[in-house]
Amino acid sequence: MDRVAGEAEDLQQFLLFLGSALTAAGEAVNQIEEHLRRVAAAYGAPDARVSVTPTYLVVALEPGRPATLEPTGQLRGGLRLDQTAALFEVLRSAGHGRLPPAEGSRRVRALVDMPPRFGRTVRVFGHAVLTVGICLVLKPTWGDLTLAAVFGVLVGVLKLTGARFASVQMMMPVVAAFTVAALTFLVAETGWADVDLRAMVAPLVTFLPGAMLTMAVVEISAAEMITGSSRLVTGTLQLLLLAFGIIGAAQAVGTPAADLTVAAPGALGGWASWIGALIVGIGSYLLHSGPPRSLGWLCLVLYAGWIGQYLGGLVLGGYLSGFVGAIVLTIVAYAVERVPSGPPALVSFLPGFWLLVPGALSLIGVTEYLSRDVVRGAEDLLGAVGSMVAVALGVLCGYPLFRALARSIGWLGAAGPSRGR
């Protein structure tokens, strides 16, 4: 009896660690609950009850048995791409019941403590590369691109320095936005460059909650109202903090707030955004320590989503372009996940959300609105909301479409269940 009770306790603890790690990786809560129920069934607990919120999990192995509540903050925030890939390997083994629960808990804790694959210098360089890629997607001028690269290094250093102190991390969005904006306005006063939000938004890309806002819409659509609403509020607050830093810098250096604008598309030509997609993939790989041999797959998924968005814009218009791009990105990401050397789909999603740029458009809209350019700000905000909803609906539709396509060609039966799905 004691042995059985110990095994049940180990399984419950494993489910709690696994759920906490999946939450830190950014997985939608409805998917986390599905993952954990599948793992519990593999270990002989098909009637397990699981409830996930943004800050805690509740797990009971059987109806009527005591439930355990565990805060998810114990795993210290978000996971890098290499950690997410390692987590899904654990999840895949657990889904087949091949991993003892106690060993599974140990492996989850070990992957959380994994050191980054790349050193600080490479990660700062990766932040600069990612910044340049996002700036290229936003169709900049040469001045914007140069400023974005310099500020990308600066913000990368600030983030690595602030990562050591929890209190500094809370203020980092405002500090980074204020610093970048103030330097941009000071440079603009010399006449070397125009004041353009693109040069300021691109270096702040890793603070942008595009993935969070999009996932909030996904969760609300899946009737996960508590988590979806919490993500939506958190993402909106993040945007307001960034916009506050930019507006504060405009007031501090004496630049009229009404001068905050987004200029017409730059002189780099249409090729800029296509090269930008590749640069975003490389920058994401370096900054977030992409798993080995995943760079090519990551760029493939990004280009699939980018081409889908481009073709969707030509056929259906701007608002629905994100919908088409998200569907294509989701289908390709799950198809790549089934390749033995392919990374989990969740690894490809974060750079994909940045590439589809709902977060960047949202920050531009909030900043323009707060800077008294109410008409343009409202237009950009509405555009960002439309883009966010379209991307979220694309993600919602993408996975069922992939399942249908895979089933039609017999892939599901031949390959077995996908990683964690």
Whether 362 shows a pLDDT value over 90: the answer reads no
Q: Which residues of 387-415 are buried (b: 16+ CB within 10 A; e: fewer)?
A: bbbbbbbbbbebbeebbeebeeeebbeee
14 vs 69, higher pLDDT = 14
pLDDT at 123: 93
Whether 74 shows a pLDDT value over 80: the answer reads no
Q: Please give the backbone phi and psi of residue 246, each rounded to the nearest 5 degrees, phi first.
A: -70, -45
Structure confidence by residue, pLDDT tens digits, 189-216: 776 655 566 777 788 878 877 777 777 8
Is the pTM higher than 0.85? Answer: no
Whether 107 shows a pLDDT value over 90: the answer reads yes
Instruction: Please state the rounded mean pLDDT for residues 101-125.
Output: 91
Q: What letter does residue 224 receive in the DSSP assignment?
A: -
Strand ordering across the sheet containing 68-71? 49-52, 56-60, 68-71
Whether the CB-CB separation of 298 and 355 falls below 8 Å is answered with: no
Whether the CB-CB separation of 320 and 312 falls below 8 Å is answered with: yes
Q: How confident is the model at residue 106 (pLDDT cuts 50, 70, 90)?
A: very high
For residue 153, the surrounding DSSP H or E stretch is helix 142-162
Whether 307 shows a pLDDT value over 60: the answer reads yes
Instruction: Single out the residue of 81, 54, 63, 121 nearest to residue 295, CA to CA.
Output: 81
Q: How confident is the model at residue 353 (pLDDT cuts 50, 70, 90)?
A: confident
11 vs 140, higher pLDDT = 11
Q: How confident is the model at residue 342 (pLDDT cuts 50, 70, 90)?
A: confident
Per-domain residue ranges of the chain:
2-112, 120-415
Structure confidence by residue, pLDDT tens digits, 383-406: 666 677 777 778 878 888 888 887
Instruction: Please state the rounded mean pLDDT for residues 315-340.
Output: 84
Whether 282 shows a pLDDT value over 90: the answer reads yes
pLDDT at 389: 74
Structure confidence by residue, pLDDT tens digits, 226-274: 888 888 888 888 878 888 888 888 788 866 444 555 555 555 667 778 8
Whether 1 shows a pLDDT value over 50: the answer reads no
Whether 132 shows a pLDDT value over 70: the answer reads yes
pLDDT at 84: 92
Instruction: Single out the residue of 227, 183, 171, 181 nearest to residue 32, CA to CA.
Output: 227
Whether 140 shows a pLDDT value over 90: the answer reads no
80 vs 77, higher pLDDT = 80
Instruction: Please state the rounded mean pLDDT for residues 40-51.
Output: 88
Whether 97 shows a pLDDT value over 80: the answer reads yes
pLDDT at 87: 94
Q: Which residues contact 158 (CB under 8 A, 6 or more apart)?
A: 172, 175, 176, 179
State percent of the chain over pLDDT 90: 20
271 vs 34, higher pLDDT = 34
Q: How confident is the model at residue 156 (pLDDT cuts 50, 70, 90)?
A: very high
pLDDT at 416: 41
* Mean pLDDT value across the chain: 79
Instruction: Please state the rounded mean pLDDT for residues 323-349.
Output: 88
299 vs 9, higher pLDDT = 299
Taking CA atoms, 389 is separated from 317, 401, 419, in Å, by 15, 18, 27
pLDDT at 414: 45
